[in-house]
Structures are given as structure tokens and as C-alpha cells.
Amino acid sequence: MEHRLVSAIETALGWNGAEDLGKGFVRGSMDDPALVSRLLTPNRLLDIAMRRSLNRPQFRCFQKVEEVHPAVYYTDSVSPRGQSIPMVDMRSLGRLLREGATLILDQANVFDPTMEVACRALQWWSRERVQVNAYLTTNDAAGFPLHWDDHDVVIVQVAGEKEWEVRSASRKAPMYRDSDPNNIPSDEIVWSGLLKAGDVMHIPRGHWHQATRTGSGSGKSLHVTFGITKRTGASWLAWLADWCREREIFRYDLERGQGLDDKALTEAATTLVGERSPADFLTAYEQETTLPRHVPFLDILGPLDAIVCTTHFPPRIQENGETVDVMVTGKKLTLTAKALPALRLLLSGRPVPLERAAAVVGTEVKELAEILVEEELCAVLTPELSLGYTGLVTNAVS
């Protein structure tokens, strides 16, 4: 999937592909100022908060480095039938923002189609799962104190300005579950300065960092953080541990003393490691990922006019002479080889208007589209989902 955001990030950071992810701190700036406002705006973020029943910790508010109790800015919206739904009290939230506060919306991609499509594009690019969090800071509010993340992040400043300090890692490749608490910050400052709208920054896993508007006076900052959690050697070993249950020897109790056959277990473990490589794990990881949410196709609501592939990772298409296999998220579809041109179009990750596609690859594309939607590899291109692609991803048939 060709996405303007992915291309802009690569250009701004001087990257040649996803292999640069996690290699070192780097920052740059996008050439297209209109792109950042297309991604998200402060008002769009507040609109998301107003229209949905959000709960902590997905939606949080901070003042003076302390989390504001939800009771301060939440209220119960009571229907005429007496049903109570927790909603953000926008008047109270507005007061906090006027005083100076930081709002955080985790997984903005769940609520906003543009963020959803951007995360999917980054997933197809990196072959890792991606989520995006949004941070809105007003006036001279402080941000989080110095901390590190257990995943790589790409930060895009979409509005206003914010001061940042980034330090080197004090432990190589720290993890969420680790043998060391890693709670002493490094003294080495890698970079400190002001991020402005359009600036992009990559902070690798383990680098300490903090951001603030303290002392900046009136104004705002909105940035989005794309969190990209890469697989590790520990992930591979955990996967092997699941596979070991297939072997009878690993299911026996460990007997103390002479009843414990260390050699047999060690040999079985060595065999397992040799049979399932890290490359096998990475392939399986993509295949085992669950299918994403989408609006189901119901013919009673109207005809299928346009679709888009919504799998977390690019489907694998394998030609086998007279047939072609499509493999993704634990599914395998076998179709005739003549379907290949239509398959490549429909599984491109770009929106596909079916009438226009039929003129290019034949009328069979409509029947194939129905199959892919039924198998949940593709989704109906609703007006709301289409908005997430507009101006950022071109149609597959244009």
C-alpha cells in the first residue's frame, strides 16, 4: 500500500525502508505542510472525545504532571429511559484545557479512519503491529517526566510546538518484561529542541525522553506517536515454548533426582530449535494475527460498490500453475490462475471501485470481491472508511 505518510516519514528521516526502524535516533521535517493537518487536528481529537463513551486509561487528562481524576471531567449522560452512559463533560474538559493540560487518547486508530489507515500502511511497511496515540497539550502544561518506551516510536508533530529532550538508552534493548528494572536515566543528551508542525522524530526502544510546554505561554501542541513493537529473540523463544507442547516429552512432569532425564529434554529442545527458525516465527506471526474489525457486508443494505483490503499485513499470493493461493491471518484461499490480475488489484491495500475495476480486469472481479469480503480479507468501502484514504492513498483503479 502506497501511503503519503509512509513516504513522507521515509523522506524526512532519510530512511530507505523499514530496516532503518530502531537503528538510531533521527529527526527531520516533512516537505508537505498540508499532510500533517490532514492526519489529525486538535478539534478533530476533541470531537472524538465528545462523541464516544471513552474510559480511562484509553482517554486521560494530566495537569502539573499529575493525572486528573476522571470524576473531574466525566459525567453520566442519562437517556429518557434512565440509561446511564459515561461521557466526557466537554465544559469541564474545556476548563482544564484553558488552564493548561495534556490530553491523551490511546489507540486513536480505533476511533478515527484516517489514523486507522495510517497504522495499516505502517504495518504493511514494517510487518509489525502499529498503534497510534494522540497527545494534546495546551498553554504551558508539562508533559510526562523522563521515561523510556519498550517499543520503537515515530512521532509526528501535527500542530503547534513542544520542547523535547531525548537521551541515550541506559540499557541495551530493554524490554517490558526484563531482568533489569532499568530505572536510572542516561546522562547523555542525544538531542534537545523544539518540534514544530511537520517535524518527525524516531525514538528507538529504550531511549529516555520527555516533552513539555512549560514556560511556552499561550498556545498548543498536538503530536501523534506511532508505536511499533518489533519481534525479539525472546518472542521467538516464547513461540517455541508453545510448539513444544506438541511433543510428548515436554508434557511430562519434571522429576527431581534420578528421575529427571536432562539429556533427553535438552536433545528434544535442540531439535525443536533447529526445526523452527526465527524466520519461520516471523512468517507465522503475520499468519496468526487475528482479523481486524470492519463493517460487515449486508446485501439488504445495498450492492457492493467498492472494497479495500483491510488485513493487518499484506496477503501472500503464491502462483501454482493453474491455481493461485492467498494466505493471510491463518486463512488460505485457492483460486484459479486467471483470477490473479483481479487478486493483485483487490489485495493492493488501496480502495477499489468495482465498476471501474471490471473495465480493467474483467467482470469476474465483482464475484471475487464478494468472496474476499465474505472471507474478511477485504471490507466494504463505507464513506467513513473512504475518508481515511482520501488524499492519502490513491485508488487502485484511477
The CA distance from 156 to 230, in Å, is 19
Predicted pLDDT of residue 233: 96
Provide the grid cell at 340: 490473479
Query: For 367-386, how does the pLDDT look when each residue is reduced to its tens digit (9 = 90+)?
Result: 999 999 999 999 999 999 99
pTM attached to this predicted model: 0.95
Q: Is the pLDDT of residue 163 over 80?
A: yes
Q: What is the mean pLDDT of the chain?
A: 95
Predicted pLDDT of residue 83: 86
* Residue whose entry in the numeric block shows the C-alpha cell 489529525: 40
Please state the rounded mean pLDDT for residues 75-89. 87
The CA distance from 367 to 354, in Å, is 10
Nearest alpha carbon to residue 102 among 47, 51, 145? 145
Beta bridge partners of 153: 203, 227
Cα 393 from chain centroid?
Answer: 17
The CA distance from 26 to 202, in Å, is 5
Predicted pLDDT of residue 282: 96
Predicted pLDDT of residue 384: 95
Handedness of CA 125, 126, 131, 135 (dihedral sign): negative
> Percent of the chain having pLDDT more than 90?
88
Please state the rounded mean pLDDT for residues 246-270. 87
Query: For 279-321, how does the pLDDT look when each residue is reduced to its tens digit (9 = 90+)?
Result: 999 999 998 888 888 999 999 999 999 999 999 999 999 999 9
Amino acid at 42: P
Q: Is the pLDDT of residue 260 over 80?
A: no
Q: Is the pLDDT of residue 259 over 70?
A: no
Confidence of residue 1 (pLDDT cuts 50, 70, 90): confident
* Number of Cβ atoms within 10 Å of the Cβ of 2: 14
Q: Is the pLDDT of residue 162 over 90?
A: yes
Predicted pLDDT of residue 80: 81
Please state the rounded mean pLDDT for residues 68-95. 91
Predicted pLDDT of residue 55: 87
Query: For 322-332, how does the pLDDT look when each residue is reduced to its tens digit (9 = 90+)?
Result: 999 999 988 99
